[in-house]
Amino acid sequence: MENIALREAPVALGDLERSVMDLLWDRPGAHTANDVRDALAGDLAVTTVLTVLSRLEKKGLVRRDGGRRPHRYAAASTREDHTVGLLNEVLGAVPDREAVLARFIGGIGPDEAAAVRRLLES
């Protein structure tokens, strides 16, 4: 299994940030703020979407292609990489990682347990 090194600690996301990131993760490629606004449910102003995209860019989660107008935005990494970073951050903050892992593994279903076994054996 590949060990992923992250440059900075991953960040938790607010509800709108999560919605934007889910959209960018689910739709590969670069998108304008208008594209993002149109794809999100609700009545958001494009300025609100631009603010969220700017914040996500500062957090290192979004890349902006500023070479043309309108700017286009894309996820800087995968959803899986972000999630692994969050898990590593949480595990790094607890004194007994083994206890946390044991509780986590004790709470997963048979299919996930089989997947963990396969991954550990590979």
Residue-level pLDDT at 9: 58
Calculate the average pLDDT of the chain. 90
Per DSSP, the three-state class of 64 is strand
Sequence-ordered alpha helix ranges (H) in the chain: 15-26, 33-39, 46-58, 79-92, 97-106, 110-121
Question: pLDDT class for 3, splitting at 50, 70, 90?
Answer: very low
Q: Is the pLDDT of residue 1 over 90?
A: no
Q: Are 32 and 72 in contact (CB under 8 A)?
A: yes
User: Tokens at residue 71, please?
Assistant: 């700017």
Q: What percent of the chain has pLDDT over 70?
A: 92
pLDDT tens digits along 6-65: 445 567 789 999 999 999 999 999 999 999 999 998 899 999 999 999 999 999 999 999
Average pLDDT over residues 94-114: 93
Kindly report the number of other CB atoms within 10 A of residue 70's CB atom: 14
